Chains A and B, each alone.
Chain A
Amino acid sequence: MKTNIILAGVGGQGILTIAAVLDTAALDCNLNIKQSEVHGMSQRGGAVQSHVRISDKEIFSDLIPQGKADIIISVEPMELLRYLPYLKKGGFLVTDLNPFINITNYPELKELYNEIKSHKNTILIDAKKMAKEIGNSKATNIILLGAASSLIPLSDESLQKAIKTLFERKGERIVIKNLEAFEKGKEIAAEIVSLN
């Protein structure tokens, strides 16, 4: 078993929170993990990605080879598409639909959504709105993680435990909100998958 996940977004959007939950849960389950991230100049509002690899066997490369990613999770719709060359045949796409527009040549939204929807295995959701509804707009990431969780070879319990561990120092309210976000993500993904 080896699962390759690419996390995508714009510097400052916090994709590393998702990575941290995955890392913590995988380590807790005694699985091997490698997770590369971007530090430095690109972090300032540029395109950033993290490669997360989880396996019960030894993992060699810190980078996922092209055409080998099982899932791309993106907190930004255009950034999702930037990593398509990494997606394996039949791989899944999970993304928030809210654009982060800090460039003058950002594509037309309609065109962008059409491109995303042209893929079969796609979960395109308004995670930001859902996060606001539960009263923690910062939990967008965890909603997306919840939405992708059925595709990830880690139990819900281990992911929930990792969320508790990571948010513990921010207080119980934040822990509860993030667990709620995880649950919301799971629910909406289940709805979308059943519609397909």
Chain B
Amino acid sequence: MKKLLLGNEALAQGAIDAGISGVYAYPGTPSTEITEYIQRSKTATALKIHSQWSVNEKTAMEAALGMSYAGKRALTVMKHVGLNVAADVFMNMSVSGINGGLVVVVADDPSMHSSQNEQDSRYYGKFAMIPILEPSNQQEAYDITKYAFDISENLGLPVLLRMVTRLSHSRAGVTISGRRAQNNIHLSKNPTQFQLIPMHARGRYKHLVDIQPDIQELSENSYYNEYTNAPNISIGIIASGIAYNYLMENFEDDKCPYPVLKVSQYPLPKKPIKKLFDTCKKVLVLEDGYPFIEEAISDFLGENRKVIGRLSGDIPRVGELTPDNIANALGFDIIINENIPKVVSGRPPELCVGCGHRDLFDAINQLGKEMKSQQVFGDIGCYALGVLKPYESINTLIDMGASITMAKGAADAGIHPAIAVIGDSTFTHSGMTGLLDAVIEDTPITVIISDNSTIAMTGAQDSSASGRLIDICKGIGVDEAHLKVLTPLHKNLQENIDIIREEINHKGISVIISQRPCIQIPKEKKDQLKALKKVNLN
């Protein structure tokens, strides 16, 4: 019996069936549904698989490593830029190695549908010198996840599993096979494995280097790297992950006339690539994301170049792959019968009608008219839409938590008013440490935490900040006289402007919590939040 699953859900089911004891993650498009699926799964609940959200990707990955240390299998999940946050533990756990199987799922977002860049996580996998898996379809997302745990435990290394938006968010029928039991607690036989002081770390790093031939061998023989012969040798094609589907889409009866190497496991398998080079006159590389493979196999000096792809310009250098841009590279005509009529206007996303962020931006914009040099440093979340019309309230948007720290640096440089706007969950994710920097120096910035009591942009997941913001700010050392709470409603506009103005005029750090639950969260949850707030006040 087939189950209809998103690529993300197939992967999650694969992890449950691989015998994980926990998933650790922070929400981020396009990765969110993996953890949500495990949270909703009755099987996972019955098996007591840990699935609560973590505060950020670093805490998530470290907790996953802790579970692996205890001998059990753990999955950790994030979007591509989340791996930047977790990069510290990621790079070091490849040196320590793991105990229970550990798979790091990173969902990349080529074309930046919901992201600020299109970084390609395969570089991280190579950087950490660990195996990388890249499924091409939903069934493979299920199967390859189970396989990922196998090779993780066999090699004693974490494995990187790379998804892309289009596979994460596309459904297909998936055949589910058996589930294996979770591991029992068992510690590593090597007592120094996880003690990365230099004298032990050198040994572990040497070990990581020494087992590279084993990792290479796995790729050479992998079921997921498949070479298909064909008669037309004018060109040979390497297609990785989802690119394989777009390639095959272009041929009738599923028959590609050219030899094809489908790549879903790295390091790159050398033997079949050599065979392709020896057989074909030139090689076309199809990969979603950066020209990772193309760069690796291109002639460094660009002479006698036989490799084409994104670097050569045959495929656009930026943006996601589509069946159409691959058709172009293959020299096929795309028949577009009609263009988009002139009458059609663009429809960018916008803040919901009734959203509290709107009322906050109204107040900030009013102050902007008064204060000529006001700069507003934004952050990651729905309120990033404050960059667009009609608000255009925000001057910067870089990464999780950068609002507070950039406001601090700008204030240090002499900018005033310097206002940071950050969401509740983004604040607990990466804003707290920056706030401490500002508290220590009593930097004259105004931090506005726009608290909607949820992680709204990714679909209203529980926020770690709920009911805790005031205590956290006090604990970090914010002076209570400059820790204010306001309710962003139109009827409070003047009052809210006055509160923010007063804190802008304070020559030190101020925090204003602008508090109103997201209109998208269900009523039951709002009632829970109200109860939580009452407890907190008592």
A interface residues (Cβ-Cβ under 8 A, vs B): 10-11, 19, 23-24, 27, 32-47, 57-67, 78-79, 81-82, 84-85, 87-89, 102-103, 105-107, 111-112, 115
Contact = CB atoms under 8 A, between A and B. Distances in A.
Given A27-B173, A33-B172, A66 B113 contact: no
A23 B457 CA distance: 26
B42 to A, nearest CB: 15
A85 B30 contact: no
Given A23-B4, A39-B30, A65-B327, A81 B113 contact: no
B339 A84 contact: yes
Given A61-B249, A78-B343, A39 B459 contact: yes
Contacts of A43: 349
A64 B184 CA distance: 46
A27 B2 contact: yes
B351 A44 contact: yes
29 contacts: A27-B4, A33-B4, A34-B171, A35-B171, A36-B166, A36-B171, A37-B169, A39-B30, A40-B113, A42-B113, A44-B351, A44-B385, A45-B347, A45-B350, A46-B349, A47-B346, A60-B254, A61-B249, A62-B166, A64-B323, A65-B250, A81-B344, A85-B338, A85-B340, A87-B338, A88-B337, A89-B337, A107-B344, A111-B343
B341 A45 contact: no
Contacts of B247: 60
A61 B245 contact: yes
Interface in B241-262: 242, 244-250, 254
B345 A103 contact: yes
Given A23-B4, A105-B345, A112-B343, A37 B170 contact: yes
A33 B338 contact: no
A40 B458 contact: yes
Interface of B: 2, 4, 29-30, 32-33, 113-114, 166-167, 169-173, 242, 244-250, 254, 322-324, 327, 334-341, 343-352, 382, 385, 457-459
Contact of B337 (A27, A57, A87): A87
Contact of A81 (B167, B169, B323, B343): B343
Contacts of B254: 57-58, 60
Contact of B249 (A65, A84, A107): A65
Contacts of A105: 345
A19 B32 CA distance: 20
Nearest to A51: B170
Given A39-B33, A65-B324, A84 B345 contact: no
A106 B170 CA distance: 30
Q: A-B pairs with the 6 shortest C-beta distances?
A: A40-B114, A40-B29, A46-B349, A61-B249, A62-B170, A36-B170
B228 to A, nearest CB: 14
Contacts of A37: 169-171
A65 B323 contact: yes
Contacts of B246: 60-61, 63
Nearest to B390: A104
Contacts of A41: 29, 113-114, 349, 385, 457
Nearest to A112: B343
A61 B323 contact: yes
A111 B342 CA distance: 10
Given A65-B323, A107-B343, A46 B338 contact: no
A60 B286 CA distance: 15
B365 to A, nearest CB: 17
Contacts of B4: 23-24, 27, 33
A35 B137 CA distance: 12
Contacts of A47: 346-347
Given A36-B169, A42-B114, A82-B340, A65 B334 contact: yes
B113 to A, nearest CB: 6
A60 B344 contact: no
Contacts of A60: 244-249, 254
Contacts of A11: 349
Contacts of B340: 81-82, 84-85
A139 B4 CA distance: 23
Nearest to B348: A46
B338 A84 contact: yes
A7 B334 CA distance: 21
